[in-house]
Structure 1
Amino acid sequence: MDVIKDILRNFKENSLLQAKFERHLKVAIKTKKRGDFLFLYGTFLGFGTQLFWSIYPFSQNKKLLPVNGWYPYNPMNSPSYELTSFFQIFASAFNISHTMNIDSFTINLMMQTGMQCDFLQLTLKNIMQFHTVDGILCQSLQQNTEPLEDILTPNLKTCIRHYIEIKRIARKLEDIYRTSMAVVFLGGAFIFCAIFYQMLHSQRDPTEIFYLLFFLFSMLTEQFIFCWFGNEITFKSGQIHGALYTIPWVDCSVKFRKML
């Protein structure tokens, strides 16, 4: 938990990780919209599953609980049946909400890391538009008349510090989520098998079919999104090296080229 708090504090307070000019802001807004959309889409799938799972027992011709279990009383007698059903439905809704928020939080951390790669890539491609003040990049509002190398050297050093910070955050995220991601994917494989098996033995009840389909798409979406944003960090970090070649290094000294 302390490591996660440190990462969040870093994103909020570290000047290296803040947007520096308009194109950075556009990337940040786009990232936020993607995060909001994925949260709403996850909410739709999660509570769609919850809805059809909840009403399925009541659509049958006999009393059924959403989840079979042992109780120190007869749960089929009224009002025990209604209270037990309500408790199970409420507990399931809470569990879905909890899982959905944890997944959304994790995905947003991954998106923020990818966004920092975009920030750094854009900074390198537009490095002449900045000047360094107290180790922080600031956008130059007027054309800079200083010698080329005097502009590039401090800017590049700041970009290197930014890159090191991104690597540090990515390594922390990997250490935190490595084991849990393995559990998610192994558990997801088991759940897929269970869903398909249950669909094969379904009584063609529309409520049950919709519940299983929503559950299936929820699990597929969870695994796909984790794979997508994990690979996106790898892809975007690789593009940073390509952005280095857009720096006007040809007119610089050998010392600067070696630093580059």
Structure 2
Amino acid sequence: MEILGVYTIIKNMEKLKQLLVTLDIDLFQPKDRQQRNLIQSNLNSWKIVVWSFWLLTLIWLFFYNFSPILDKTSKEYRLPFRAWYPYNTETSLQYELIYLHQFIGITYLTIISINVDTLIAALNMYTGAQLDIICDNVRKFHNSETDTPADANRKLTNCIHHHRELLKFVEFTNNFYNWVIFLQFLVGGVSIGLAVFQLTVVSVDEIQVFMYCWFGNEIEVKVV
């Protein structure tokens, strides 16, 4: 799953670069302290979810990798996960080398999974933040005491242009990660079903799916 996710991201790397360039244009930047606070609020929510995900995943990773040592089944040459090898793994040197290989492989794939998931959550978070900025601009597009009708018309035009550019950004974002999310929901759903009695594994998988649902729902709420 993680390998497919990385392949999809590498394949769409140009799209990701374009998304980052779009986020850096002046139109998408906060104009005052209030708008910076709006973005910071979204960013803080993202950080809380990401750190929770990291914590749960690292706890799971520790117990998964060291379970043969903790329950002393390493004396029986049990590996972190079952796998078939075309040679005897129940000899001293080969067992340690295979254990190290599995340890590195699981850790590497876990880090990849975390970074892919948090990247997608970050893109959704910034989409929600842009909606907050647009709403704030609409609320303040006309000040009867200081703005002329021409000023109000210019600000309203900028709001419409910002909204159209954001729609393009959202469409580009969906094209970038739609297959990654599809695979994540597919594999995550199967994993949760198979591991229903393994609470640690369920917690990690639920957080993975939760990030997509949470930040996607935030966009839906702000659009409404």
- Which interval holds the TM-score relative to the shorter structure? 0.7 to 0.9
Q: Residue 19 of structure 1: SS of its match in structure 2?
A: coil
- TM-score (norm. length: structure 2): 0.87
Pairing partner for 1:16 from 8, 27, 48: 27
Q: What value does the CA root-mean-square deviation take over the aligned residues?
A: 1.6
Distance 2:156 2:115 in 1: 38
Distance 2:157 2:114 in 1: 40
Deviation, structure 1 residue 83: 1.8
Percent identical among aligned pairs is 23
Deviation, structure 1 residue 52: 0.9
Q: Residue 92 of structure 2: SS of its match in structure 1?
A: coil
Which digits, 9 at most, give the CA deviation of each residue in 1:135-164, with x for residues without a partner? xxxxxxxx73x53x1221001001100000
Distance 1:182 1:105 in 2: 15
AA matched with 1:191 = S
Q: Residue 64 of structure 1: SS of its match in structure 2?
A: coil
Deviation, structure 1 residue 67: 2.0
- For 2:88, the equivalent position in structure 1 comes to 74
- For 2:127, the equivalent position in structure 1 comes to 113
Distance 1:105 1:175 in 2: 14
Equivalent residues in 2 for 1:76-91, closer than 5 Å: 76-91=90-105
Q: Whose helix fraction is larger, Structure 1's or Structure 2's?
A: 2
CA contact (8 A) 1:47 1:93 kept: no
CA contact (8 A) 1:114 1:233 kept: yes
- For 1:224, the equivalent position in structure 2 comes to 210
Q: Residue 128 of structure 1: SS of its match in structure 2?
A: coil
Distance 2:86 2:184 in 1: 34
Distance 1:234 1:167 in 2: 13
- TM-score (norm. length: structure 1): 0.75
User: 2:74 matched to 1:54?
Assistant: no
AA matched with 1:34 = S
- For 2:19, the equivalent position in structure 1 comes to 7
Equivalent residues in 2 for 1:173-212, closer than 5 Å: 173-196=173-196, 199=197, 212=198
Deviation, structure 1 residue 18: 0.3
Pairing partner for 1:33 from 11, 24, 44: 44
Deviation, structure 1 residue 87: 1.4
AA matched with 2:29 = Q
**Larger Rg computed on CA atoms:** 1
Distance 2:138 2:193 in 1: 47
Distance 1:167 1:79 in 2: 57
CA contact (8 A) 2:188 2:205 kept: yes
- For 1:172, the equivalent position in structure 2 comes to 172
User: 2:115 matched to 1:101?
Assistant: yes
Aligned length: 208
Deviation, structure 1 residue 31: 2.1
Q: Which runs of 5+ in 1 are unaligned?
A: 130-142, 200-211, 239-260
Q: Which runs of 5+ in 2 are unaligned?
A: 1-12
Per mean C-alpha deviation after superposition, the further-off stretch among 51-60 and 18-27 is 51-60
Deviation, structure 1 residue 222: 1.3
CA contact (8 A) 2:65 2:103 kept: yes
Deviation, structure 1 residue 2: 1.1
